[in-house]
């Protein structure tokens, strides 16, 4: 069981199977989305706008796209950007890619930039997810996730990771990212990374 391979999710450790017997279960995710009012929680709109303006991407991958609410924000900045969404579940506006970022199967350097808003805390293996983002992105990655000191970090039962800004900075540097900017508010934190 320790080496069990779950379709689309890669190798999962025994402790993860014990804690999360059905990772990415559509029924659980849809229930949590309704319970916690998931939507576009954009804690750093100015920084994301600057990120998009700096790299002038031809295409953008929204990881954990939910109902693709980021698409309108992106197209207000530049309507020519080819927006693609990825999620593990179809919540009603089908993602372009229904898979986990941990094992996307997308070609190397297939997107200019990747944006993941309130997503990384949900994945089973954040190191694999970050490694995959680095492989897929040509230029940069924009991440937003809960401030570890805010109750939202642990309130949602599908949050399985909490990231401290100091240790997360160490991790992304270890993985080969260059940290361009990171900020924290009372509720969220943001990392702007170059590959």
Q: How many CB atoms lie within 10 A of CB 97?
A: 18
Angle between helices 45-55 and 70-77 (to 10 degrees): 50
Contact 61, 132 (CB under 8 A): no
3-state secondary structure of 183: strand
Condensed to tens digits (0 to 9), the pLDDT of residues 124-145 reads: 999 999 999 999 999 999 999 9
pLDDT-derived band at 28, boundaries 50, 70, 90: confident
- pLDDT digits over 146-189, tens only? 988 888 888 788 888 999 999 999 999 999 999 999 999 999 99
pLDDT, the chain, mean: 87
Residue 22: per-residue pLDDT: 58
- Provide the CATH topology of domain 5-194: Rossmann fold (3.40.50)
Residue 120 has pLDDT above 60, yes or no: yes
Amino acid 16: pLDDT: 40
């Amino acid at each position: 069981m320790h080496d069990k391979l779950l379709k689309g999710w890669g190798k999962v450790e025994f402790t993860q199977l014990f804690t999360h017997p059905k990772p990415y279960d559509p029924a659980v995710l849809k229930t949590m989305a309704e319970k916690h009012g998931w939507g576009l929680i954009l804690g750093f709109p100015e920084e994301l706008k600057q990120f998009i303006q700096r790299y002038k991407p031809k295409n953008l991958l929204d990881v954990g796209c939910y109902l693709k609410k980021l698409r309108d924000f992106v197209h207000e900045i530049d309507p020519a950007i080819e927006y693609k969404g990825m999620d593990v579940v179809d919540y009603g506006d089908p993602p372009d890619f229904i898979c986990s970022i941990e094992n996307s199967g997308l070609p190397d350097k297939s997107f200019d930039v990747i944006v993941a808003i309130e997503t990384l805390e949900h994945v089973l293996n954040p190191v694999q997810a970050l490694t995959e983002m680095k492989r897929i992105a040509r230029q940069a990655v924009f991440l937003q996730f809960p401030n570890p000191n805010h109750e939202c970090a642990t309130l949602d039962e599908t949050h399985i990771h909490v990231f401290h800004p100091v240790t997360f900075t160490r991790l992304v540097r270890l993985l080969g990212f260059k940290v361009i900017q990171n900020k924290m508010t009372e509720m969220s934190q943001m990392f702007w990374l170059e590959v």
